[in-house]
């Protein structure tokens, strides 16, 4: 028991220190305001004929996947690049290495603050706001709501995992942040090119390639086939496979980061 408490206190100290740095005034207040404002401004209800309540629930969530989730990505990019990156660049991470903790616990404390707390704030504000706007839809179709969020957040976590690897490699916060922004727009360009190919050829494979890292596209085809991928309308189980595969890829990327941080990182 004493050993557990002895290890737990340094972990909480690192977590609290990182949390204070990641969300110091006015960062937390600013992003909370942007999430709330974006939710109420951009939410959309699709009510034309033939649309089921489940599709309405899906549409409500996807209407928020523009500006609000972009803000979420910027927040986790900032936390990883400037939080962890600056600690590596300035050498302050060595202070944490002197704690009676394994390196994986230190990285876990940093990522809990950088990503998990940001995710809880994002989901907490958005789902609460959606419940106020349409309580019946949210209550009755909470599974659809959570699946839609999962499909979209998986892509954000993939970007975060790639940025984490780059941050550990270059050990410079500013450079890592620039790389993250370039990565975000570069993947967007690739997505656009593959979408054009799908439209021109009427083939499903370009959209299916994108859906490996962005399963939201498979979910979109499931609910509203766009015609970009020919006759491809994935079943619900296929969508689950895409979502599960995307999170498995994210898990692999983060695992590589943990291995590098614990065994290969040198300062």
Predicted confidence at residue 170, as pLDDT, reads: 92
Predicted confidence at residue 212, as pLDDT, reads: 93
Residue for token pair 């942040």? 177
Predicted confidence at residue 47, as pLDDT, reads: 59
**C-alpha closest to that of 120 among 93, 96, 153:** 153
pLDDT of 75-89, one tens digit each? 999 999 988 998 998
* C-alpha–C-alpha distance, residues 64 and 67, integer Å: 7
Predicted confidence at residue 228, as pLDDT, reads: 59
Predicted confidence at residue 2, as pLDDT, reads: 44
Q: Please report, in tens digits, the pLDDT of each residue of the chain (267 residues total).
A: 444 445 568 999 999 999 999 999 899 999 999 988 888 888 877 655 567 888 888 988 998 888 889 999 999 999 999 889 989 988 889 899 989 999 999 999 999 999 999 999 999 999 998 888 888 888 899 999 999 999 999 999 999 999 999 999 999 888 998 999 999 999 989 988 988 888 888 788 888 999 999 999 999 989 887 665 556 889 999 999 999 999 999 999 999 999 999 998 886
Task: Find the length of the chain.
Answer: 267
Predicted confidence at residue 1, as pLDDT, reads: 43
Pull the structure tokens for residue 256: 């590589």
Predicted confidence at residue 134, as pLDDT, reads: 87
C-beta of residue 113 within 8 angstroms of C-beta of residue 22: yes
* C-alpha–C-alpha distance, residues 216 and 43, integer Å: 17
Handedness of CA 216, 218, 224, 227 (dihedral sign): positive
**C-alpha closest to that of 88 among 166, 25, 17, 8:** 166
């Amino acid at each position: 028991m004493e050993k557990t408490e002895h290890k737990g206190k340094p972990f909480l100290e690192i977590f609290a220190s990182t949390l204070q740095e990641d969300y110091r005034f006015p960062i937390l207040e600013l992003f909370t305001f942007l999430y709330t404002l974006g939710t109420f401004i951009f939410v959309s209800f699709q009510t034309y004929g033939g649309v089921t309540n489940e599709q309405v629930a899906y549409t409500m969530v996807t209407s928020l996947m523009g500006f609000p989730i972009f803000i979420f990505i910027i927040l986790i990019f900032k936390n990883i690049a400037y939080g962890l990156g600056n600690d590596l660049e300035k050498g302050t991470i060595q202070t944490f290495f002197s704690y009676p903790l394994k390196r994986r616990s230190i990285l876990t404390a940093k990522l809990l603050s950088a990503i998990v707390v940001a995710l809880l704030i994002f989901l907490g504000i958005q789902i609460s706001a959606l419940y106020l706007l349409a309580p019946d839809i949210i209550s009755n179709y909470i599974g659809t709501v959570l699946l839609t969020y999962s499909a979209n957040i998986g892509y954000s976590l993939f970007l975060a995992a790639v940025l984490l690897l780059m941050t550990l490699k270059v050990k410079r916060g500013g450079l890592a942040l620039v790389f993250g922004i370039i990565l975000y727009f570069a993947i967007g360009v690739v997505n656009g090119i593959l979408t054009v190919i799908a439209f021109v050829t009427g083939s499903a494979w370009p959209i299916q390639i994108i859906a490996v890292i962005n399963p939201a596209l498979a979910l979109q085809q499931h609910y509203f086939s766009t015609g970009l991928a020919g006759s491809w309308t994935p079943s619900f189980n296929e969508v689950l496979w895409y979502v599960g595969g995307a999170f498995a890829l994210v898990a692999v990327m983060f695992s590589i980061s943990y291995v590098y941080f614990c065994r290969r990182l040198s300062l």
